[in-house]
Amino acid sequence: MSEKKKGFWSWLGFGKKEEAEQKEIQQEQESIQPEQPVIVEPETEKSFSEKLDELEDKIEEKVDQLEDYFEEKEEKIEQFAEQVEDTIEQKVEDFKEFVEEKVEEAKAFFDDVEDKIEQTFEEQKGEQAVENLQNIATEQLDLNEQEQVTYQVEEAVAEEVAETELVNNVQDTVEESTIQDEYQEKPSQGGFFSRLIQGLIKTKQNIGSGFRNFFRGKKIDDELFEELEEQLLVADLGMPTTQKIINNLTQHATKQQLKDADLLYQQLKVELGEVLKPVAQPLVLEAKKPYVILMVGVNGVGKTTTIGKLARKFQQEGKSVMLAAGDTFRAAAVEQLQVWGERNNIPVVAQSTGSDSASVIFDAMQSAAAKGIDVLIADTAGRLQNKNNLMDELKKIVRVMKKYDETAPHEIMLTLDAGTGQNAISQAKLFNEAVGLTGITLTKLDGTAKGGVIFAIADQFNIPIRFIGVGEKIEDLRPFNAEEFIEALFSHEDEQND
């Protein structure tokens, strides 16, 4: 009934009022909606931009703080690294010095043991020693087998035993004056040239007069030159020097010489002479007082014996001489120099075994200067050329000498044993690199067939050869003369007259 009434009233127009009110409400809402984007959205965009700028500022501030922080840390790290590096270097240096000190102590200990063994050995040989000294002048040692051995430790030991035997027996036997006269004053039979010829007999078998039969009756062709090359190598001239001589021989020989074997033989003599002439420079003592000669070399080459001979030679020339026993590792070497000094009235500066070599030589330089000595000859310990620590010690000796006299040493002389052959080349090379050699003495040419090494030394290093030794007498150590040496080398048995 009511629904029918309501529909009826609506039909009559009573519902129009309510419908009109709803339309007004809808129109009001539509008028409000377009204004919403204009009011809300701009306010939102402005707030976000400000926040973004604030965030960027904060990030930049933090980045700056981090950069400052890491820069500060980096500086501290670098400072710490430098401190660590300095500490490590100091520790390494301290350890190195400690090791070197212990090595020197060990060397001194073993040298002392060796000396004691030698002393015991000498005491047991007491009765035979006198007889051996009496027969030195008449006996010749057969060194053929020793020639085939390239520098060995046995050779160094043999020399040390011989030197110790000489020292002990000169001091202990009643025949001291007889030995002194025989060793120092009595001249050898024949002149030096005759002794040089005799001393080079073994070398001449491989080179020099030994080539005479090599060339005789042979056709001169490539095969002959190949054989000649082999022969020069056998004579220990070495490959570089051999090739140089062969090349010069073929270039300088005339057509006539290339047809005549005897003429070619004479041209070979000329070429060998040309190799030696540039290094034949005798030692000239300067006016500087004292004139200091530093003797260097490996063990067993006759270095200490050569010092004694040189001292006697200078003394005979009217020079005042002093010896410095810088070989502080071998008691026998110090004792030998002291005996040399006593017998020839030559002062010797020495300290106990194991002392610092540089200190001994420095003291000797001071003493020689104070006494107005003309020539000071300083011995050094024998050292293997391939031992860096020993070569460094030699450099130290030279530095210490220059602290006293910046021009010293005035001569650094290397003693070489001709019997070591090509090993002498490596010795000359490394000693020259270490201290800069100014002269060479080549010993024991009389006991070897390897004397041809003198050509290799002259050709490769161009270091003046001051002296050569062809015997045990003092007069058997003579200034090197290239022409005289070549003449003796190429002489024949029927020409052995002085």
More confident residue, 139 or 448: 448
Annotated ligand binding at 324? The verdict is no
Annotated ligand binding at 301? The verdict is yes
**Cα(218)–Cα(224) distance, integer angstroms:** 8
Annotated ligand binding at 343? The verdict is no
Q: Up-side HSE of residue 132: CA atoms within 13 Å toward CB?
A: 13
**Looking at residue 181, what is its pLDDT?**
38
Annotated ligand binding at 448? The verdict is no
Annotated ligand binding at 444? The verdict is yes
Annotated ligand binding at 445? The verdict is yes
Annotated ligand binding at 382? The verdict is yes
366 membership: H or E segment, kind and range: helix 357-371
Annotated ligand binding at 125? The verdict is no
Beta strands in 315-432 (DSSP E): 321-324, 348-349, 375-378, 411-417
Dihedral of CA 146/330/333/166: which sign?
A: negative
Instruction: Tell me the CA end-to-end span of the chain in Å, nearest whole number.
Output: 177
Which of these, 316, 295, 290, 291, lies nearest to 305 by C-alpha position? 295
What residue spans define the domains of the chain? Answer: 44-137
**172-183, pLDDT tens digit by residue?**
333 333 333 333
Annotated ligand binding at 380? The verdict is yes
pLDDT classification of 433: cutoffs 50, 70, 90: very high
Q: What is the mean pLDDT of residues 82-99?
A: 74
**209-245, pLDDT tens digit by residue?**
667 777 777 778 888 888 889 889 988 899 999 999 9
Q: What is the mean pLDDT of residues 261-288?
A: 91
CB atoms within 10 A of CB 384: 14
Laid out side by side, the sheet with 348-349 consists of 348-349, 321-324, 375-378, 291-296, 411-417, 439-443, 465-469, 477-479
Annotated ligand binding at 415? The verdict is no
Annotated ligand binding at 383? The verdict is yes
Given a cut of 70, whether residue 315 has pLDDT beyond it is yes
Annotated ligand binding at 304? The verdict is yes
**Looking at residue 496, what is its pLDDT?**
45
Q: Dig out the tokens for 75 from the structure.
A: 């500086």
Q: Is 374 left (phi over 0), alpha (psi -120 to 50) or beta?
A: alpha
Annotated ligand binding at 331? The verdict is no
Annotated ligand binding at 44? The verdict is no
Which residues, at least 6 apart from 182, have a Cβ–Cβ distance to it below 8 Å?
137
Annotated ligand binding at 268? The verdict is no
Annotated ligand binding at 172? The verdict is no
**Cα(344)–Cα(118) distance, integer angstroms:** 26
**Cα(204)–Cα(446) distance, integer angstroms:** 11
